[in-house]
């Protein structure tokens, strides 16, 4: 009886179900489990995303090397009789990406409110201070056309002569306009990203490689097809009124000229003509100091259905997420003391001058503290850059223009302020580095008026590649050295 008595109790208990408390506890447990699983999956997908972004940037950096070295060989072959070679260097303030913008109190990349903000000194290279250099070279060697005439995407044309420009591209906004990298609009900082939606953040920038084949008798439509005799055509506006069409806006990658014809064309320029100014700036009628560099047009995602113009605009897109593009040069331009690196005057009279000595100009590296035994390293010339990373630019340790080294005081290894300066350094920034302006730029241009001057033997390119989606902690840096002699 006792046994049978217990059964209803057990049955009653098993039918009772869950109490509210038990239900809540189990729901909470399930929620915790789901959150945990989410965390694990989120973490691993972020890891996969970062890994993918890293492998993408390293793949792009490696692929770029083959093309850059090929162009370097072409430039070396063309250099002895090339019409010109131009390096134009300039820095710009910009946010690395959206997250960087959102951390900034006044939404302005040119101001540094917080102690931990990336520096924006003119000679810095940081996540807020970027280099947007340009390199213009003539090439000898086989190159194929990358665009086609109207109604087609490619042509069979090829040529053994070419002209290539490396530099950041103008990219379309979501309307009809093209915007410069980091360009800001007329309204306040809160509108700048809206004004320039595709080329505002440094991680959106695209380094362009705009290659033009040269052919004096082109088979199809070419840039500047008219038989013009305007000086400097067909690669630039005229040297007299600046109104001719610009190569940087051209949809054709074929120019109706040759290296020889163009050099002959340039030889007719009057002495003192600022050919380099006309070839590299947007409005050549403006004075040197306040001109905007001429940038070529690119469009990585042309409208569908694709047409010849859209296809042509996509071909210059070379390196995506290129937040830094730094071009510097090296060679034998002066005589130096082997034990100190000081520049030696090689003429007996004033103004003091230093001739090449058969040794590539060098810098003595004495280690981080300046006390190690000196090691001789190639000296690179260019827009001032703090390569020793100690917060200041020093003439005899960092990258500076050759002019700055020559004109430095003898105690700093130079010849003094009256030194004869190199004719190919056409525009130099202030040598008072602390006071260097954010828009100060540097132009080194070898051309018809420096035929008897030494030319660079090497060009160093430093590029930093970043992920537009912010998946990697910092951009990856790549260095390429092109041997020109
Ligand atoms: Ca700011
Ligand atoms: Ca030398
Ligand atoms: Ca330094």
Average of pLDDT values for 285-289? 86
Distance CA 375, CA 159 (A): 44
- Helix (H) or strand (E) run with residue 209 in it: strand 206-214
pLDDT for position 230: 67
The rounded Å distance from CA 82 to ligand 3 centre is 35
* 385 touches 399 (CB < 8 A): yes
pLDDT for position 245: 80
The rounded Å distance from CA 478 to ligand 2 centre is 27
The SS3 call for residue 325 is strand
Which of the ligands is closest to the CA of residue 93?
Answer: 1
Tell me the pLDDT band of 220, cut-offs 50, 70 and 90: confident
Average of pLDDT values for 326-343? 97
- Provide the whole-model pTM: 0.89
Distance CA 376, CA 161 (A): 37
Q: What is the DSSP string of 130-165?
A: EEB-EEEEEEEEEEE--S-STT-S----EEEEEEEE
Residue % of the chain over a pLDDT of 90: 63
The rounded Å distance from CA 364 to ligand 3 centre is 13
The rounded Å distance from CA 355 to ligand 2 centre is 8
pLDDT for position 28: 83
* 165 touches 208 (CB < 8 A): yes
The rounded Å distance from CA 393 to ligand 3 centre is 4
Which of the ligands is closest to the CA of residue 363?
Answer: 2
The rounded Å distance from CA 120 to ligand 1 centre is 10
pLDDT for position 78: 97
pLDDT for position 351: 96
The rounded Å distance from CA 436 to ligand 3 centre is 15
**Terminal Cα-to-Cα distance of the chain (whole angstroms):** 111
The rounded Å distance from CA 450 to ligand 2 centre is 18
The rounded Å distance from CA 179 to ligand 1 centre is 22
Domain ranges of the chain: 41-326+465-477, 331-454
Distance CA 40, CA 61 (A): 31
Over residues 64-106, the pLDDT tens digits come to 999 999 999 999 999 999 999 999 999 999 999 999 999 999 9
Tell me the pLDDT band of 32, cut-offs 50, 70 and 90: confident
The per-residue b/e assignment along 401-424, b for 16 or more CB within 10 angstroms, e otherwise, is bbbbbbbbeeeebbbbeebbbbeb
Over residues 146-186, the pLDDT tens digits come to 888 888 788 888 999 999 999 999 999 999 999 999 999 99
The rounded Å distance from CA 442 to ligand 1 centre is 26
Which of the ligands is closest to the CA of residue 392?
Answer: 3
Which of the ligands is closest to the CA of residue 346?
Answer: 2
């Amino acid at each position: 009886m006792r046994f049978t008595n217990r059964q209803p109790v057990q049955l009653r208990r098993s039918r009772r179900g869950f109490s509210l408390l038990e239900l809540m506890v189990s729901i909470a447990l399930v929620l915790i489990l789901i959150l945990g699983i989410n965390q694990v999956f989120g973490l691993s997908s972020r890891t996969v995303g970062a890994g993918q972004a890293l492998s993408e940037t390293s793949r792009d950096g490696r692929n770029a090397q083959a093309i850059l070295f090929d162009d370097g060989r072409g430039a070396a072959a063309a250099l002895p009789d090339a019409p010109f070679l131009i390096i134009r260097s300039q820095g710009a303030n910009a946010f690395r990406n959206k997250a960087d913008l959102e951390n900034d109190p006044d939404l302005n990349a040119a101001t540094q409110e917080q102690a931990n903000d990336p520096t924006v000194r003119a000679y810095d290279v940081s996540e807020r201070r970027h280099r947007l250099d340009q390199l213009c070279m003539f090439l000898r060697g086989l190159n194929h056309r990358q665009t086609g005439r109207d109604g087609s995407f490619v042509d069979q044309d090829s040529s053994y002569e070419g002209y290539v420009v490396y530099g950041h591209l103008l990219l379309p906004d979501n309307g009809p306009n093209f915007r410069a990298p980091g360009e800001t609009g007329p309204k306040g900082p809160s509108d700048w990203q809206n004004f320039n939606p595709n080329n505002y953040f440094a991680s959106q920038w695209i380094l362009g490689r705009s290659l033009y084949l040269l052919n004096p008798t082109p088979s199809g439509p070419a840039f500047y097809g008219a038989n013009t005799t305007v000086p400097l055509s067909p690669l630039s506006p005229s040297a007299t009124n600046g109104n001719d069409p610009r190569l940087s806006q051209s949809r054709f990658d074929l120019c109706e000229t040759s290296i020889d014809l163009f050099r002959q064309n340039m030889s007719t320029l009057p002495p003192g003509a600022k050919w380099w100014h006309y070839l590299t700036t947007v409005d050549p009628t403006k004075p040197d100091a306040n001109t905007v560099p001429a940038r070529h047009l690119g469009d990585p995602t042309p409208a569908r259905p694709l047409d010849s113009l859209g296809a042509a605009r996509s071909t210059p897109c070379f390196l995506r997420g290129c937040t830094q593009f730094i071009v510097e040069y090296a060679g034998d331009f002066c005589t130096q003391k082997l034990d100190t690196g000081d520049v030696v005057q090689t003429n007996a009279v004033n103004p003091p001058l230093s001739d090449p000595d058969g040794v590539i100009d060098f810098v003595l590296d004495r280690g981080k503290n300046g006390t190690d035994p000196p090691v001789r390293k190639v000296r690179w010339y260019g827009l001032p850059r703090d390569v020793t990373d100690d917060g200041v630019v020093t003439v005899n340790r960092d990258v500076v223009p050759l002019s700055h080294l020559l004109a430095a005081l003898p105690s700093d290894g130079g010849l003094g302020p009256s030194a004869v300066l190199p004719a190919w350094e056409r525009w130099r920034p202030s040598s008072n580095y602390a006071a260097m302006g954010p828009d100060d730029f540097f132009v080194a241009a070898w051309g018809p008026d420096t035929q008897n001057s030494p030319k660079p033997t090497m060009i160093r390119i430093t590029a930093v590649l970043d992920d537009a989606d912010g998946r990697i902690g910092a951009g990856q840096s790549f260095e390429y050295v092109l041997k020109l002699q």
